[in-house]
Amino acid sequence: MEIRPLVLVILDGWGLSPEVSGNAIYSTPTPNFDKLMSLFPITSLHASGEEVGLAWGEMGNSEVGHLNLGTGRVVMQDLPRIDKTIADGTFFKNQELLDAFKFAQANGSNLHLLGLFSAGGVHSHINHLFALLDMAKKQEFSRVFIHLITDGRDTPPQTVLKDLPKLEEKMKSLKIGTIASVMGRYYGMDRDKRWERTEKAFNVLTQANAPKANSALEAINAAYAASKSDEFIEPVAIANTPRIAPKDAVIFYNFRSDRARQISDKIIDKGGVYFVSFTSYGHEPSPLVKVAFFAEKVTNQLVMLLANNKITQLHIAETEKYPHVTYFFNGGWEEPFAGEERILVPSPKVATYDLRPEMSAKEVMTKFVENFQNKKPQFTVLNFANSDMVGHTGNFEKTCSAVSTVDAALGQISAAVLNSGADLIVTADHGNAEQMVNPQTGEIDKEHTTNPVPLILALNEKVSKNPQAVSVETKIALAASPPTGVLADITTTIVQRMGLGKPQEMTGQSLEGVL
């Protein structure tokens, strides 16, 4: 069967907003994106909330976006799934969680609760920590020590002091729980193999000689005094609290796996600790390593359909988004499928990406063009991380630079793809760079958004004979219009475009005939 090659480009964090103020995308010349927008059909898609399997009003994220894009269906996400078990009471009967309490009880040891202390809902939720404390009360187990990983990335930069009193009140009312350490997610949730960061976090979790503060409040105030936001709080132990030791139990309550893996590897490798993760972090289950909430295995997703039809694939991104174009896009499958090639381009080794807003976009583009022209993969998924990763720093000027870098790379890619006669689809997984200032408060906004994302179907037979100039007003009008569909619709559009039968598991609708 003759398959016309198709390239899916995901502009991470490139949303659509009707607001001009604080919009790094509208504030940056994007001639290549604008050219595609003028020549080809464009619409907007939902990328947040229930339309992608999250709770109503919940902002989108990279994991969820890529999962929807790769599976062609709205997948119920871990946050609402776990919330439901708390609401119906089955959470408190979860055998893996109960076994952690039993292990610590039998050994006369401690239970440690580790996770991102955040109401952001991207990697974890504060309510899940509170439910674990309720569970400890029900189990009449009091040796509970809490290790706070502070956010400031999926929440405003200085949020932990607003949430800390809620935790203290919860512990006081239950008479259970002691805060044992505090650390920013920069250290406790690195995913880029910056092991020096992970080592700092691990030492505070496990070593008696770790840096100490007298209280969580003291540690946080010291960080703020040093102009460090929640994300960058240096790991510190709280005086007179125990570290994680052999025969202790640990429950890691992050439900998103990518940023939980490195620190989990260190804890598990320490040995002798009973470790329970809320979801699978990729570790083999063993007598001492358990998963509380296994996800349902996704099948008949796009990569499986392509592999079954012997269609060659290329999945390419830099380090920061590599898991998203592989594990998440593939529906939670770790290993490559038949005919699937993967290219990982290292992200620059800098403290924060506003120091290198170009990141590795040029290298990703160059390696893609090389591979596309020489190996001719029939399907490619490619991610540009810049708009999201630099957007998370809150640095408006550098995020504009990131947007400009991505646009330049998009120009090279679109030329290579369209000149070859192949199809090009351009979209995003969620918003970020389009809203760098909170419209309600005027504060710096580093978070993802609930805004829709663009979809451009750059198909040669759909090129406009009368292209119109694109202005900021054009983009505002697009952002203000009701979205045409959801991210899962892109998958079905690809399947139809390639002449493949849509599996019944795919709930998305093709948009080719709509645009």
Would residue 502 count as lying in a domain?
no
Would residue 513 count as lying in a domain?
no
Angle between helices 78-88 and 126-138 (to 10 degrees): 30
Q: pLDDT digits over 18-32, tens only?
A: 999 999 999 999 999
C-beta of residue 322 within 8 angstroms of C-beta of residue 514: no
**How many domains would you assign to the chain?**
2
Boundary (domain end) residue, out of 240, 258, 291? 291
62 is annotated as an active-site residue: yes
Residues 257 and 189: their CA atoms lie apart, in Å, by 10
Give the helix ranges, DSSP H, for 139-294. 160-174, 185-188, 195-206, 216-225, 261-270
Can you tell me which residue has the tokens 């400009």? 404
Would residue 506 count as lying in a domain?
no
What is the pLDDT, as a whole number, of residue 168? 98
Question: Nearest Cα to 47, choosing from 447, 499, 417, 487?
Answer: 487
What is the pLDDT, as a whole number, of residue 1? 62
Range of 264's domain? 78-291
Would residue 352 count as lying in a domain?
yes
CA distances from 133 to 115, 123, 297, 317 (A): 13, 19, 30, 39
Pair 50, 100 in one domain:
no
Boundary (domain end) residue, out of 253, 275, 291? 291
C-beta of residue 455 within 8 angstroms of C-beta of residue 39: no
Pair 125, 217 in one domain:
yes
CATH number for position 351: 3.40.720.10
- State residue 274 phi and psi, 5-degree precision: -85, 115
CATH number for position 99: 3.40.1450.10
Cite the annotated binding site for Mn(2+) by residue number.
Answer: 12, 62, 388, 392, 429-430, 448
Would residue 504 count as lying in a domain?
no
Would residue 96 count as lying in a domain?
yes
Q: Could you tell me how many helices (H) and strands (E) the chain has, helices first?
A: 17, 16
Pair 163, 280 in one domain:
yes
Pair 47, 126 in one domain:
no
Pair 122, 89 in one domain:
yes
Residues 123 and 421: their CA atoms lie apart, in Å, by 40
Query: What tens-digit pLDDT sequence spans the chain (515 residues)?
Result: 678 999 999 999 999 999 999 999 999 999 999 999 999 999 999 999 999 999 889 999 999 999 999 999 998 889 999 999 999 999 999 999 999 999 999 999 999 999 999 999 999 999 999 999 999 999 999 999 999 999 999 999 999 999 999 999 999 999 999 999 999 999 999 998 999 999 999 999 999 999 999 999 999 999 999 999 999 999 999 999 999 999 999 999 999 999 999 999 999 999 999 999 999 998 988 999 999 999 888 999 999 999 999 999 999 999 999 999 999 999 999 899 999 999 999 999 999 999 999 999 999 999 999 999 999 999 999 999 999 999 999 999 999 999 999 999 999 999 999 999 999 999 999 999 999 999 888 999 999 999 999 999 999 899 998 898 999 999 999 999 999 999 999 999 999 999 999 999 999 999 998 88
- Active-site residue, from 27, 48, 62, 401: 62
Pair 140, 222 in one domain:
yes
Pair 21, 148 in one domain:
no
Pair 449, 338 in one domain:
yes
Would residue 309 count as lying in a domain?
yes
**DSSP-based three-state secondary structure for 237:** strand
The sign of the dihedral angle between the CA atoms of 381, 386, 388, 389 is positive
What is the pLDDT, as a whole number, of residue 117? 99
Other CB atoms closer than 10 Å to residue 161's CB: what's the count?
A: 14
**DSSP-based three-state secondary structure for 117:** strand
C-beta of residue 39 within 8 angstroms of C-beta of residue 464: yes
Boundary (domain end) residue, out of 244, 272, 291? 291
Pair 449, 484 in one domain:
yes
Pair 316, 269 in one domain:
no
Pair 306, 356 in one domain:
yes
The reported pTM is 0.82
Cite the annotated binding site for substrate by residue number.
Answer: 123, 153-154, 185, 191, 256-259, 321
Would residue 71 count as lying in a domain?
yes
Pair 113, 14 in one domain:
no
Residues 149 and 116: their CA atoms lie apart, in Å, by 5
